[in-house]
Amino acid sequence: MIENSMFEEEPDVVDLAKEPCLHPLEPDEVEYEPRSSRLLVRGLGEHEIDDDEEDYESSAKLLGMSFMNRSSGLRNNMSVYRQNPSGSCSVPSTRTMVVCTVVLVIAVSLIMAIYLLPKCTFTKEGCHKKNHTMELIYPLATNGKLFPWAKIRLPPDVVPLHYDLVLQPNLTTLKFAGSVKIVVNIVQVTWKIVLHSSGLNITKATITSAGGHQEKPVEFLEYPLHDQLAVIAPEALLVGQNYTVSIEYSSNLSDTYYGFYKISYKDENSKQRWFAATQFEPVAARSAFPCFDEPAFKATFLIKIKRDEKLSTLSNMPKKATTPVTNGIVQDEFFVSLKMSTYLVAFVVADLKNISRETNGSLVSVYAIPQHLNQVGYALNTAVKLLEFYQKYFLINYPLEKLDLVAIPDFQSGAMENWGLITFRETTLLFDSNTSSARDKKLITAVIAHELAHQWFGNLVTMEWWNDLWLNEGFATFMEYFAMEEIFPELHSDEDFLNLIFKAMMKDSLNSSHPVSSAVQSSEQIEEMFDALSYIKGASLLLMLKHYLTKDVFQAGIEVYLHNHSYGSAQSDDLWDSMNEITNGTLDVKKLMKTWILHKGFPLVTVVRKGKIISVQQEKFLYCMEPENWTSDASYLWHIPLTYITSSCNLTHCTNAYLLDQKSAVIELPEEVEWVKFNVDMNGYYIVHYAEDWKTLIDLLKKNHTALSPKDRANLINNIFNLAGLGKESLEKAFELIDYLNKENSTAPLTQALFQLSLIYSLLEKKGEQQLAARVMHRIEHLLGDKIDQQSWTDDGTLSERELRSTLLAFACTHGIRNCRATATEMFEKWMKSNGTMSLPSDVMKAIFTAGAKSSDGWEFLLKTYSSSVSEAEKNKMIEALASTEDVRKLIWLMQNSLEGEVIRAQELSRIVATVSQSLPGYLLAWDFVKENWEKLTRKFHLGSYTIQNIISWSTSQFATKAHLLEVKSFFESKSEESSQLRCVKEAIDTIQLNIQWMEGNLAKLRELL
């Protein structure tokens, strides 16, 4: 469906079906590759065709786009063929002319009709009727010839087995040359090999048959709209045979964050240096070398890189040999890789230093530019511990002899799991004991845990297509938090995961949400799958399943899945089938989980308790959107593994389970209880409404809040505020529930309450309701003021206490609560007087910098220090402080400079826009910046990318007026169809509509309440 509409809009597409004598596309060829024997243009179809088809081919030749024009031109011109009187011929009469013209036209028409009819017309059998319901549409290649493939997905008739890749990047000219030899196997007879190529200047292509030694030059066609390259074979390629396609090409090192791209940085002597690295996921390997750039097309790779002898190279595999090429240039050859997808291929060319340690036969190394080598120790220790844990848990050894972790100076995402060569943003790998906070340590640990989990989930077993990206990212996210709890319990990573689930549910509650497993085709759609739902919802569904199956059954199911699909591809059903092998008929995991991954949104479970009887009922949690944007699926039924605890909980039996696979059900307790709490520790992906029981739970929190776990308390806060937004519960009751917070000491409930109240404050402030916003802030101060006062300006305490300190003091200094700003400003001034040499406590550094950036001198000093700092952790905190100034000119300069990547790298832009958007002076500036720089933004970061998603989300999330809603809608409608159809654009519009509804429904209540 999508291909046809897309092609019809392109000006350079030829529609063959409109010519009556050509074969139409067979119905079964619409979804799959059109059979080449039916592609009736010389040089593109099979040569072995029958007599009927020869006639069709002749017709096709005659009908080649100019025939009809010539014949109509002939007829038109004949009517004016009269010689002038000075000629020797007399002028025929008008009647004679008309008769002759009619006769001639009839004769030509008859000849044409007879000629164009196939031979079968004049036989006894006649012609077989063809199905004309479908159209065969082929686009034009760049050279004007027909391109023999019309779909975004590659045809299944050819599969790659092995690549020999030779690259020579030049870090002076910032270009690279390459050659690739691809061994392919033929699955169906064909004359074409269609693969991917993007932005490559291809100079030569040849093909060699198996056992043949002669390379035969071949014609190649390019279709840039789909990043496709077609190699046209000189003869039929036979089933089961292997052929080698050789291609030579060149290109520029990319100035985006995709493909084989260039990075500049300053060395220890402040001299500019260049660095080349790769980022291929999801669809950028094709911009570094021609390849079959789809995850299921796995192959082995032999990589050789020519480089300046002063630099070093890294790739997925260990280095095999280094040989001289010419003066000052050497070639590094790496061992042949395991079978893997193209998006996992990686190489780095740079001046790097490393430290290493061996574990279980694999050498683990962490690389960085020389001035950062003293910050890689923590990452190495962490990586070794995690690698050992995963090998034991999966019962599969890490299969490579080495694992490199590389800190890249400019990197769009947090990290990338390339097999054997994991690339990281510097802030997610480098730990500086002087400037890295408790939160920084947690971030580094989490990112390493995530990427190492991918070495099994994603690399060893890969999703078949991007619709099941969650199999990679959801699993890696789940394992990241599970591994951290097992190995680093002091980090309390489960609290972070809880907050991420809350945020994913906000996104999933919108009408513009999507199922975890969703159909995708275009590169923009694929990019958009990298979102909170693939990562966080995917992970939380696995968490729910693990608790329901029990940890041992779940682990056994994972082991079966990995063993069954090693070095291959998988779909969601393969995972459920593996789990079912372990449950052995006691539970149909596939039936249960399909209700979650194939449907967007999540259930709202309403609980009504009467004596020992609990009635539970499920419905979809859905905000009422405007009719034009609303899609109803309210009757949808989830299979919900409910969990609950009651006041009669004892040490031997606390958590109870019940599978709600009907619209409603009744649970009978063994005895009457004082209270019941569902969704224990928020291990299920649903929201609970307690109807009359909210009052009981509010009283419980006031009298004895520790009767519930910190995660359960955070869960109640989140649920009641969401229900207030839905109109199912009053805002008054939500505020009543958090009244107990002055007794709260745990991070999870405090941060959740702060998050919910901050959302309300921000909406009121941006709506111009300053007095009401001030009353919300006063309520926050009333609840948390004493807690803020108790915080020391040090790095003392447990990691959880230190992280809470960072959160509370940064919030207090931003909003001027108590004497936070005065204390922070005083510390900043002392630090400034020491010219930045004085040591500041890392956990409160952000709060101090934020206070300091309020003054013009402080802001300028921070910017100067930022430029010279060698600590990425410190620079990270400075960026947020610089973006929190109230000076409009400075905010504009900061965003513009980051986009240009001069003083501040473009990788920071998303966070700068997010910080600017949250302030009253900045929120309109951020949106104006996005509008004015949209083309530059999408060129640098690509449509649909996580960065673009974040920039759109943050720059519009504070809007709560119909005027802003119209402006955002109009802006994106004025852009390309690809831009206006982005899911993140629809989410932004949904969010603004909800903000408007929230204000209309709650403004008057808030005035009464506060």
Q: Give phi and psi for 568, each to the nearest 5.
A: -130, -165
Q: Are 364 and 356 in contact (CB under 8 A)?
A: yes
| C-alpha to C-alpha distances, 171 to 24, 264, 291, 940, nearest whole angstrom | 51, 10, 24, 20
Angle at CA of residue 510, ends 507 and 512, nearest 5°: 100
Q: Give phi and psi for 113, each to the nearest 5.
A: -60, -45
DSSP 372: G
Query: What is the three-class DSSP state of 80?
Result: coil
Please report the DSSP string for 19-58 in residue order: STTSPPPPGGGSSSPPPGGG--STTTS-S---HHHHHHHH
Is the CA virtual torsion 719, 724, 725, 728 positive or negative?
positive
DSSP 141: P
Catalytic residue among 451, 473, 769, 880: 451
Closest among 807, 811, 842 to 827, alpha carbons compared: 842
For residues 833 and 824, what is the distance between their CA atoms, to the nearest angstrom? Answer: 14
Closest among 205, 140, 148 to 33, alpha carbons compared: 148
List strand residue ranges (DSSP E) for 612-669, in order.
613-620, 640-646, 656-660, 664-668
SS (H, E, C) 571-616: CHHHHHHHHHHHHCCCCCHHHHHHHHHCCCCCEEEEEEEECCEEEE
Looking at residue 867, its amino acid is S
Please report the DSSP string for 401-427 in residue order: SEEEEEEESS-SSSEE--TTEEEEEGG
* CB count in 10 Å sphere of residue 921: 12
For residues 515 and 98, what is the distance between their CA atoms, to the nearest angstrom? Answer: 69
| C-alpha to C-alpha distances, 468 to 280, 367, 515, 516, 880, nearest whole angstrom | 18, 32, 10, 8, 35
Please report the DSSP string for 949-993 in residue order: HHHHHHHHTT--SHHHHHHHHHHHHTS-HHHHT-HHHHHHHHHHH
Q: Give phi and psi for 301, each to the nearest 5.
A: -135, 130
Contacts of 977 (CB under 8 A, 6+ apart): none
Closest among 399, 266, 406, 409 to 340, alpha carbons compared: 399
Query: What is the three-class DSSP state of 295?
Result: coil
**Which tokens is 987 given?**
């989410």
Bridge partners (DSSP) of residue 305 are 167, 332
Q: Give CA 509 to chain center in angstroms.
A: 19
The 8 Å CB, 24+ separation contacts for 751-759 are 751/495, 751/499, 751/714, 751/804, 751/807, 752/498, 752/499, 752/502, 752/714, 752/717, 752/718, 753/717, 753/783, 754/780, 754/784, 754/807, 754/808, 754/811, 755/499, 755/502, 756/717, 756/718, 756/721, 758/811
Q: Give CA 732 to chain center in angstroms.
A: 39
Is the CA virtual torsion 642, 646, 648, 653 positive or negative?
positive
Q: Are 597 and 572 in contact (CB under 8 A)?
A: yes
Q: Are 593 and 541 in contact (CB under 8 A)?
A: yes
Helix, strand, coil shares of the chain, percent, nearest 5, are 50, 20, 30
Q: Are 984 and 972 in contact (CB under 8 A)?
A: no
Can 451 be counted among the known catalytic residues? yes
Q: Are 356 and 365 in contact (CB under 8 A)?
A: yes
List active site positions.
451
